[in-house]
Amino acid sequence: MWVEDWAPAAACREANPDELFVRGAEQNKAKQLCSGCPVRTECLAEALDNQIEWGVWGGMTERERRALLRRHPSASWRAVLETARNSAGKLPASL
């Protein structure tokens, strides 16, 4: 299920915003905050669809998002990520 108003459910909602807008090795710490987030997919779709340039969003750095956008410049990331998440939920339990 896609969460429209995802920000209140984000794992980072109470974090200091400066922790998410860092450079270098500090980005790995920020990405860890995203790892267990229940709305990570929605956050990432927001950043990709709106081409947000700075910070860690949905567990991806600016560089990672730019690379993805270069490969697929006209994608609707919400549609892509929502479809992928729905498909993953339908995998057999044996996998």
pLDDT tens per residue, range 23-81: 999 999 999 999 989 999 999 999 999 999 999 999 999 999 999 999 998 889 999 99
What is the three-class DSSP state of 56? coil
pLDDT for res 88 = 78
CA distance 18 to 5: 22
Question: pLDDT value at position 67?
Answer: 95
Which pLDDT score, from 0 to 100, does residue 85 have? 86
Does residue 13 register a pLDDT over 90? yes
Say whether 37 counts as a known binding-site residue: yes
What span, in angstroms and rounded, lies between the C-alpha atoms of 48 and 64? Answer: 10
34 labelled binding-site residue:
yes
pLDDT of res. 89: 67
Name the residue ranges covered by the structural domains of the chain.
7-87
Q: Is 39 annotated as a binding residue?
A: no
Cα–Cα distance for residue pair 77/12, rounded to 1 Å: 21
* Section 15-25 average pLDDT: 91
Q: Say if residue 75 carries a ligand binding annotation.
A: no
Structure confidence at residue 87 (pLDDT): 86
Whole-prediction pTM value?
0.85
Q: How far apart are CA 41 and CA 2, in angstroms?
A: 9
